[in-house]
Chains A and B, each alone.
Chain A
Amino acid sequence: MTACRRLFVLLPALVAALSSAAQAQTPPDPPANAEGSAAAQAAVDDPDRDFNRSQPDFVVVNLPTTLRLPKFKSAFRVTHRFGRPLGQGDFGELAEDLFGLDSGAQIGLEYRFGLMRGLQVGIHRTSDRTIEFFTQYSVWSQPDAPIGLGIIASMDGTDNFTDSYTPAIGAVVSRELGRYGAIYVEPMWVNNSNRLPSELVDDNDTFMVGLGARVRVRPTVYIVGEFIPRTGNTPGVNHGTFGIEKVAGGHTFQLNFSDGFGTTMGQLARGGTGGDDWYLGFNISRKFF
């Protein structure tokens, strides 16, 4: 773990270095009397601030999209995955439990921040005391390129990031379908996805390919879905989820159905709960721009 802790010290330093590099690339400041108006004009012209009908949010359900977060802007997300299997008992019992809303839930809170154009960093904590730090860099985005491409790196740790660290690195490839949604392919390598020492397991890494889609069915209503086939360490079942979402102003409200509770990369690599169990959940996100 010592090397891991060194890495955690190293990463913020590198992020700071990135920030410095970005500032170094910024064109020289205009004369003082033009400074205010130029900055205001740049903010207004920033295309990252425009609403993207094909990619209204930074995630599909759990998988990231290639939506860019404007510089120095942020977004917040709440996730709930209720613990009652929808197939447990008959329909009357399910209705009595309000389709699972009466049961406990795995809750996630997420905040992301645009560190510079195309680069965002964030933190996601789930109520099983897992904390995930992540960063995503947008390499290409549409319409400047035929596809969107982002590089994502994350590290989650259990017990409030003091134990069982699970780093992940991968790519987010998107293709927008006009103004009617987008499809995603996200190859991801997740290390140390098995919480046992490597001496005791056959596989300690998971390679997964996240497949996702978002389709706009009404002006502000979308159908979303994800499926994540895996190889390597593959406990549980491959994660699958689908849902419906409504975009209202800076908010996105999503009702979803999943075969597991995972929302971080490590949790997704460990798969769903198994059997035929599906669970109700929701995401609510808010953009602060």
Chain B
Amino acid sequence: MRFRVLCLVVAAAVFAGTVACDESLSSLTGPTPNLEPTLSSIQKEIFDTTDSSGRLACINCHNGRNPFVPGNLTAGASYATLVGTRSVEKPALVRVAPGDPANSYFIHKLEGGPAIVGERMPRGTGPYLTAGQMLVIRRWIELGAAND
């Protein structure tokens, strides 16, 4: 009987251990370890902040004050700028299509897709967003691009 109880303990230990075996998001997002798939987090870590890799904050240019730069990504304005809003460069696409990152022009611009008009963002020669950072932004869109 004692043996069977111990077998159950082993099984239970494995089961309990599973809860903590998930990969951590921070290990994936490189220079922005606190980045999460919410707009508030993306606003803080991506739009507002130049990260430790040297990737420039978006609001350096997209701040609503420069008439030659479309889109205002400052806090409070970024959601309306992005979600469901048609792109100026490519009017056939919306910048962020909730639930559909593949057809969101915002993603095309950040990843430098072949069909973009103008330069890949952030403008210049990089550094660009890392693959891990892009996964988080894609996930925010997949989850419906909420104003959260």
A complexed with B: yes
Q: Flag if A15 contacts B10 (CB, 8 Å).
A: yes
Does any Cβ of B come within 8 Å of A41's Cβ?
no
Q: Does chain A have a CB within 8 A of B136?
A: yes
**Which of B20-28, B51-59, B113-121 interfaces with chain A?**
B20-28
| Contact residues in A for B25 (Cβ distance below 8 Å) | 197, 199-200
The count of A-to-B residue pairs whose CB atoms sit within 8 angstroms is 89
Chain B residue, CB-CB nearest to A4: B21
> Which candidate, A62-70, A161-169, A230-238, is the interface stretch facing chain B?
A161-169
The digit string for B102-133, where 1 denotes a CB below 8 A from any CB of A, is 00000000000000000000000000000000
* B3 adjacent to A22 (CB under 8 Å): yes
Whether A135 and B3, one on each chain, are in contact in the complex, defined by CB atoms closer than 8 angstroms, is no
CB contact between B2 and one of A2, A25, A155, A169 (< 8 Å): that residue: A25
Closest Cβ of chain A: how far from B136's Cβ, in Å? Answer: 7
Contacts of A6 in B (CB 8 A): 17
Tell me, yes or no, whether A217 is within 8 Å of chain B by CB: no
* B137 → chain A closest CB, angstroms: 11
A5-31 Cβ-contact flags toward B at 8 Å (1 or 0): 011001100110110011011000000
Count of chain B residues with a beta carbon within 8 Å of a chain A beta carbon: 27
Within 8 Å CB of B45, what residues of A?
none
Q: Is the CB of B3 within 8 A of A167?
A: no
Interface residues of B in 1-47 (CB under 8 A from A): 2-3, 6-7, 9-11, 13-25, 27-28, 36-37
Q: How far is the CB of B70 from chain A (nearest CB, A)?
A: 29
6 A-B residue pairs with CB within 8 Å = A1-B24, A14-B10, A24-B2, A25-B2, A167-B14, A192-B18
Please provide the 3 A-B residue pairs with the shortest distance between their CB atoms, ordered closest to farther. Answer: A3-B20, A7-B17, A191-B18
Interface residues, chain A, with chain B CB atoms under 8 Å away: 1-4, 6-7, 10-11, 14-15, 17-18, 21-22, 24-25, 119, 135, 137, 151, 153, 155, 164-167, 169, 191-192, 195-200, 204
